[in-house]
Structure 1
Amino acid sequence: MTVNNTGAWGIAKREWRANWRLGLASLIGTGACLSVWPSVSSLFVGPLQEAFGWSRGEIALAQNASLAAAFISPALGRLVDRIGVRPVLLGGLLLTAMAYFLLAIQHGPLPLYYLFYAVLCLVGTATTGLTFTRVVSGAFVGSRGLALAITRSGLAISGALLPSTIFAIIANYGWRMGYVALGVLILLTALPTAYFWVRGASVVAPRKQDADRRQASMLQLLKNHKIVLVCLASALNYAPIVALLSQFQPLLVGKGLEAASAAALIGVVGVSALVGAVVTGLLVDRIWAPLVACIFTLGPALGCLLLLPDSLELWVAIVALVLLGLGQGAEIDVVAFMIARYFGMRSYASIYGLSVLCIAVMIALQGSLIGLSYDYFGNYNVALVVAAACFVLSAFSYLGMGRYPSSEPSPVEAEPVVITPAAGVAHTK
């Protein structure tokens, strides 16, 4: 890989001048699609309890649908590597909006809710970092960390704004309109920007002869212990945050906060995630990414411990949520950066799909157990301690990645990217 060495900011300016449409479409899509669901899912727990008489544990069992998405993620990633990002992404956007509408028209029984939730998880997988980080990582090289951070800020912004908005919609128009609003958001923002702007060499399929010759099999990928390590570390980091977010409003209410205040405080996680995404994005372009990941993963462990008291002071709750948000904002950026930096772009989506598999299995486990833990113990304290332990284990697992390769993988693994001094346009040889 050769890059015109005129400084990090000069490289970033040239790359964004050439690829700003891809970056903006990814920012909007990341903030509007399935990745934002964990930030608002807890707002539907109470209304569903009231409407259908389901327990929190029964509602939380819907998280097992993540298992179905988990097992298709590696295959979906391999499909992205073979046919390109665009067709997979556009189909996923449309189907995810339809899945929200299915949840809006449900009238029970509980198995039907589980079915619709499973559909959302399955089709929504195509609208997550599996596709959007592939778009960004392929288009940006010298400023990849910053580009991933800017893209990730879309999720942070929506995580800050959507909880209060969806809470207000549910309070005034009912929970069904909450689901409708999420579907309409995709149709009005993510789908049109992806359709018009997700184009170009970085998102098309590789030539068939190259794909057949160069793309590693799943078994070959799994034999690489660093791929397994980054997948496990990301799962132990991200899954506890998703599990806690799925029950955050009732958790905070149980600690003595008002329902509206609890919903508003969830937005603190979104604001903090924005800060975490931008800071880590700037850092990983300059500092060893596993060290950055370790530091930003230890913060959420402390945040979980701060949430343990039965009666929370408002400032303590804010500090805890800030720490959790910083960790959430850092995780996706750093993992996407490390996959590209350690393994290249040829099998990027396949490796990312494996990480999604690990994350989804862990989400299904922890997302279900957190609700059942409440049903059994009457509080979320045991779940908070387990989550803190997962964060600590994840933090030190990142350090096992070792040094970067001397350069990004050879053409057998990835197409080398060159930034031309004249035009500043990234292209593949």
Structure 2
Amino acid sequence: MTTTQAPAIEAATEPPAYRDSAQGWGVVLAGMVGLALGLSPLPFYTIGMFAPELAKAFGWTFTQLMTSVTVQSLVVVASGPVAGIALDRYGSRRVALVSVVLFGLCFMSLALANGTLWIYYAQWVLMSALGAGTLTATWTRVINSWFDRQRGLALGVVSAGTGLTAFMVKPLTAWLIGAFGWRVAIAVVGALPLLVALPLIYWLFREPPRALAAHGASEPVEPGATLSEALRDRRLWIMALSFLLLAFALTATTPNMENILKTHHFTLPQIGGITAFFGLAVIAGRVGGGLLLDRLWAPGCALIVFMLPAVGNAVLAGGSISATTAILAIIGMGLGTGFEFDLLAYLIARYFGRRQYGTIYGVFYIVIAVGGGLGPAIYGYIFDRLGTYALAMWSGVGCILAGSLLLLTMGPYPEGVE
């Protein structure tokens, strides 16, 4: 497969005045909160809290409960690319405003679960289809247009929203379950997108002036490749295989994390304290990774950063470990998980441009949905069969190393797509 040089629109010598402006950071704030309370992190980071309650209430197995994450990922295979096309056609703001409302209502509906598993899965299907407009591409598409010199940092701050979910919403969910029960907890968590994210998106989330002026015009607003051109580019397929492996390994451990630590004989209070570091590490990985991307070649940066979760997986695959060792392992895993989506957004913009950014990103929804959807269920299955996560964790180490090394074959950034 040959590499196709992406065609570009002639760009001005100086970037537009709105690039890297103060107004852009208001957009970043709204995007960060919108991502934090969207489809990608909210169900993912809370399912581990709700799973024991649902198992107790309805007799469902751990594998059945983790399959809900797989259901979400499979639906995103279809809904993610559709959302990406909608972003390029209608603009990110419109898509975000509609999708965040529908997602919040669908999440709240999970509180009505009655023990019928297929109905529970159907609720996840509806939530995943209607909430696809709250996924990462919605926010990063706009950020890539608002920023140039500080793009990596801006993407990192937006992506830090998922770390906020892990750090703040997980403890809130645990408290709500203990104080009011799981049904009330689901309803309250589902209301957060409506009460917190929606107002910020309405007031602050805007596409830059140039994109607004040209919206709907026959010529593309931004330079870069079309989807058909990107599909003929070997670098797209290298990225696809790399992120398939990385998504599998980095996603699989997150909903299984509490149970992984339980196999190391930590108590529930210890587990709560240890996992809190994961959320902080995700935030640090988002912001720190973004800063590195502004300064280093992205594939080389990825190799360095992803060594941390590889080591973390290897540590947790071993025998008895101390709480301090577990915290360090969790921090390493969080740093890698935090960096993943920063890296993807940055690579797409630098190698394929912003012309059809949402549509191209939609292709990677398929990749990440497959890898990320299979990971949690396979790890849960291995645990159900063997009573340990060791085999799963070592497979994760191999996937992280292979995915990181693949990116080194991407070559230098092409000219003319920025």
Do they superpose with TM above 0.5? yes
Shift of 1:395: 0.8
- Give the deviation of 1:240 after TM superposition: 2.3
Alignment of 1:141-290 (within 5 A): 141-201=148-208, 204=212, 206-211=215-220, 218-290=227-299
Q: Is the 8 A contact 2:48 2:255 kept in 1?
A: yes
CA distance in 2, matches of 1:355, 1:29: 20
Question: How far apart are the structure 2 equivalents of 1:273 and 1:130?
Answer: 18
Letter in 2 for 1:50: K
Is contact 1:69–1:125 with CA below 8 Å preserved after alignment?
Answer: yes
Partner of 1:361: 370
Instruction: Tell me the distance in 2 between the aligned counterparts of 1:3 and 1:46.
Output: 58
Secondary structure at 1:210 match in 2 = coil
Give distance in 2, aligned partners of 1:323 and 1:177: 34
Structure-2 change in CA distance of 1:401 and 1:192 (3 Å): same
Does structure 2 conserve the Cα–Cα contact (< 8 Å) formed by 1:304 and 1:387? yes
- The residue number in structure 2 matching 1:424 is none
| Correspondence for 2:106 | 99
SS at match of 2:60: coil
Residue 406 of structure 1 corresponds to which residue in structure 2?
415
Distance 1:12 1:35, change over 3 A: farther
Q: 1:46 to 1:292 in 2, by over 3 A?
A: same
Measured in 2, the distance between the counterparts of 1:3 and 1:237 equals 37
Q: Read off the aligned partner of 1:57 and give its amino acid letter.
A: T
2:8 maps to what in 1?
A: none
Q: Is the 8 A contact 1:268 1:322 kept in 2?
A: yes
Equivalence for 1:299: 308
Residues 225, 353 of structure 2: 8 Å contact kept: no
Give 1:72 deviation, angstroms: 2.4
- State which of 340, 365, 370 in structure 1 corresponds to 2:379: 370
Give the CA deviation at 1:273: 1.3
Cα pair 2:19 2:148 within 8 Å, conserved: no
CA distance in 1, matches of 2:171, 2:222: 50
Contact kept in structure 1, 2:18 and 2:208, CA below 8 Å: no
- Cα distance in 2 between the residues matched to 1:335 and 1:315: 31
Q: Report the 3-state secondary structure (helix = DSSP H, G, I; strand = E; otherwise coil) of the residue aligned with 1:256.
A: coil
Following superposition, the deviation at residue 56 of structure 1 comes to 0.6
> CA shift at 1:253, angstroms?
1.4
**Is 1:36 matched with 2:45?**
no
Distance 2:163 2:17 in 1: 21
Aligned CA RMSD, in angstroms, stands at 2.4
1:84 maps to amino acid: G
Task: Name the stretch that deviates more: 63-72 or 213-222.
Answer: 213-222
Is residue 328 from structure 1 mapped to residue 337 from structure 2 by the alignment? yes
Contact persistence 1:95–1:124 (CA under 8 A): yes
In structure 2, the residue matched to 1:26 is 31
| Larger deviation, residues 211-220 vs 227-236 | 211-220
- CA shift, 1:197, in A, is 1.6
Structure 1 residues 3, 369: CA separation in 2 closer, same or farther (over 3 Å shift)?
same
The offset of 1:263, in angstroms, is 2.8
- For residues 7-18 of structure 1, the aligned pairs below 5 Å read 15-18=20-23
Q: Summarize the Cα distance change of 1:140–1:287 in structure 2 as closer, same or farther, 3 Å threshold.
A: same
In the alignment, what sits opposite 2:133?
126
Identity of aligned residues (%): 29
Query: After alignment, is 353-362 or 168-177 more displaced?
Result: 168-177
Tell me: CA distance 1:14–1:136, structure 2 relative to 1, closer, same or farther (3 Å).
Answer: closer
Change (3 A) 1:162 1:88: same
Q: 1:302 to 1:3 in 2, by over 3 A?
A: farther
The answer as to whether partners of 1:104 and 1:177 remain within 8 angstroms in 2 is: yes
Contact 1:12–1:143 (CA<8 Å) still a contact in 2?
Answer: no
Q: Distance in 2 between matches of 1:98 and 1:112?
A: 16
